[in-house]
């Protein structure tokens, strides 16, 4: 997406948006360490980017820096938190309470980002009505009635891949605005935002880098004998 800046409107690129959570993470660390001020140079070391890119990124959000002073950590933190919607109190439901659903339900990942899990759903009779992390696991048959009443913003989709599409359609029809999708099926519904998480992709990138690193250490060409790819 190209970045265009109008007088009363800034549209920022997906690339910058995707970097924002990292800024938020590093600023959280600085804040936790009691650091009051930072600079584009310091942030560039933390982020592994150039100071100029940092300044450019932060300028997209109204240029919170001051020359000779740098950036106020709490101010920058609050602003990026607000841009990311961390102060919004989103409500989320977890759909699919297998190992991954339960791991997410019991992790601090939601609360730290202003997202509150309000219910867990499953189709498995053995799990329905059992309690996990203080939640009574609900029957998927109750989904529509629940959504109509409680209006969750986000659904965390951790159902088996075969059930991914149908479940996503039900969630969108029930008014869910965003799907955090762990099913490894790429979902692209019209009426809701989706963040597809493909854990396996990062594992494969790691495997690739391990292999490259070993080859470089050995100082040899790749297996095909002619090309290092």
CA distance 66 to 125: 59
Residue 150 contacts by C-beta under 8 Å, 6 or more apart in sequence? 91, 118, 119
CA distances from 217 to 203, 209, 229 (A): 21, 12, 15
- In sequence order, what DSSP letters do the residues of 95-107 get, joined into one string? E--SHHHHHHHTS
In the complex, what is the shortest distance from the CB of residue 185 to a second copy, in angstroms, rounded to a whole number? 9
**18 lies in the binding site for a second copy (CB under 8 A):** yes
Nearest to 16 by CA among 44, 52, 58: 58
- In sequence order, what DSSP letters do the residues of 25-39 get, joined into one string? HHHHHHHHTT--EE-
In the complex, what is the shortest distance from the CB of residue 161 to a second copy, in angstroms, rounded to a whole number? 9
**50 lies in the binding site for a second copy (CB under 8 A):** no
Helix 51-59, helix 40-47: angle, nearest 10 = 110
**130 lies in the binding site for a second copy (CB under 8 A):** no
**31 lies in the binding site for a second copy (CB under 8 A):** no
Q: Which of 35, 45, 103, 145 binds a second copy (CB under 8 A)?
A: 103
Site string for a second copy, 73-92 (x = CB under 8 A): ---------xxxxx-x-x--
Q: Which of 68, 134, 200, 219 binds a second copy (CB under 8 A)?
A: 200
Q: Which residues bind a second copy (CB under 8 A)?
A: 8-12, 17-18, 20-22, 24-25, 60-62, 82-86, 88, 90, 98-100, 102-104, 106-107, 109-110, 112-115, 153-154, 177-180, 184, 186, 193-195, 197-211, 213-214, 221, 223, 226-229
């Amino acid at each position: 997406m190209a970045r265009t800046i109008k007088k009363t409107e800034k549209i920022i690129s997906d690339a910058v948006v995707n970097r924002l959570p990292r800024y938020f993470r590093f600023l959280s660390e600085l804040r936790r360490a009691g650091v009051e001020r930072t600079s584009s140079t310091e942030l560039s070391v933390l982020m592994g980017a150039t100071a100029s890119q940092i300044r450019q990124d932060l300028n997209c959000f109204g240029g919170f820096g001051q020359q000779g002073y740098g950036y106020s950590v709490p101010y920058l933190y609050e602003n990026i938190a607000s841009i990311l919607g961390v102060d919004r109190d989103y409500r989320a439901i977890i759909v699919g309470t297998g190992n991954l659903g339960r791991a997410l339900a019991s992790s601090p990942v939601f609360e730290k980002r202003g997202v509150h899990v309000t219910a867990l759903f499953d189709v498995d009779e053995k799990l329905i009505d059992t309690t996990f992390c203080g939640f009574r696991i609900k029957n998927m048959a109750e989904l529509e009635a629940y959504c109509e009443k409680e209006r969750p913003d986000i659904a965390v989709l951790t159902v088996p891949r075969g059930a991914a599409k149908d479940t996503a359609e039900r969630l969108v029809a029930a008014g869910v605005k965003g799907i955090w999708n762990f099913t490894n099926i790429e979902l692209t519904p019209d009426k809701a935002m989706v963040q597809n998480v493909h854990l396996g992709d990062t594992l494969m990138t790691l495997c690739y880098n391990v292999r490259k690193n070993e080859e470089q250490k050995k100082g040899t060409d790749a297996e095909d004998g002619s090309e290092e790819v």
